[in-house]
């Protein structure tokens, strides 16, 4: 299964890089298959350091701010325990991992990793349709340069209804942030064509 979350890595300056990512794993979460694009900072960092931290969170505003690259947004972090890396303090669980192998024969690299340490900060709040809609909207936002405009706008319109019906303040803010980002990116895309 693909488990949506957030990955932290260390860049060449020693700073924490934070990116939403959905690795393939099973319910034991002892191994991860990450599939970043070779153009991504996460790929470059994992290739160089061969370690990172995968986080499970129910904080969709965090994911929205990361996807939209909100200026000045720096989530609080603490040092990882078994690797050189960082743990987000507002996550539910985290999984420190070491890279076992990298297959970068195609544009979307396959990175196999083994979890070497995990921990829990807080309980997962639970299921909420609005949170799922924000995650889907964030995934669309990350693919705005690939997908046709009408497909993105149609899907965003469908995702709006669960947000309107079931969202709290955090989900509403996150969804609005993602929609604003998508609209801005689509305008830039039209100008560049």
Give residue limits of the domains in the chain. 5-120, 129-192
Return the H-helix or E-strand segment holding 33. strand 31-34
What integer pLDDT is reported at residue 190 of this predicted model? Answer: 66
Q: Place domain 5-120 in its CATH homologous superfamily.
A: Electron Transport, Fmn-binding Protein; Chain A (2.30.110.10)
Cα distances (angstroms) measured from residue 22 to each of 2, 7, 63, 102, 190: 6, 9, 12, 17, 29
What integer pLDDT is reported at residue 107 of this predicted model? Answer: 81
Instruction: Please report, rounded to a whole number, the percentage of residues in the chain having pLDDT higher than 90.
Output: 91
Q: Give buried/exposed letters for 85-102 (b at 16+ CB in 10 A, else e).
A: bbbbeebbbbbbbebeeb
pLDDT at 35 over 70: yes
What integer pLDDT is reported at residue 192 of this predicted model? Answer: 66
pLDDT at 189 over 90: no
What integer pLDDT is reported at residue 127 of this predicted model? Answer: 87
Quick check: 96 and 116 in contact, CB under 8 A? yes
Sign of the CA dihedral 21, 23, 28, 31?
A: negative
- Average pLDDT of 54-67? 97
In CATH, what is the architecture of 129-192?
Up-down Bundle (1.20)
Q: Give buried/exposed letters for 148-180 (b at 16+ CB in 10 A, else e).
A: eeeebbebbeebbebbeeebeebbebbbebbbe
Ranges of beta strands (E only) in 35-122 are 51-56, 77-79, 86-88, 93-103, 110-120
pLDDT at 19 over 70: yes
pTM attached to this predicted model: 0.93
């Amino acid at each position: 299964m693909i488990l949506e979350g957030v990955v932290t890595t260390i860049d060449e300056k020693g700073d924490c890089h934070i990116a939403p990512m959905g690795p393939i794993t099973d319910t034991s979460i002892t191994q991860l298959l990450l599939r970043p694009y070779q153009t991504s900072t996460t790929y470059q960092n994992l290739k160089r350091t061969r370690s990172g931290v995968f986080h499970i969170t129910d904080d969709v505003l965090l994911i929205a701010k990361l996807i939209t690259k909100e200026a000045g947004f720096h989530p609080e972090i603490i040092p990882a325990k078994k690797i050189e890396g960082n743990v987000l303090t507002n996550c539910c669980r985290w999984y420190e991992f070491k890279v076992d192998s990298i297959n970068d024969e195609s544009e979307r690299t396959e990175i196999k990793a083994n979890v070497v340490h995990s921990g829990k900060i807080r309980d997962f709040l639970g299921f909420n349709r609005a949170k799922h809609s924000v995650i889907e909207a964030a995934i669309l936002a990350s693919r705005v340069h690939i997908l046709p405009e009408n497909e993105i706008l149609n899907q965003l319109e469908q995702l709006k209804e669960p947000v309107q019906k079931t969202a709290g303040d955090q989900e509403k803010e996150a969804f609005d942030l993602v929609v604003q980002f998508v609209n801005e990116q689509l305008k830039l895309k039209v100008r560049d064509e």
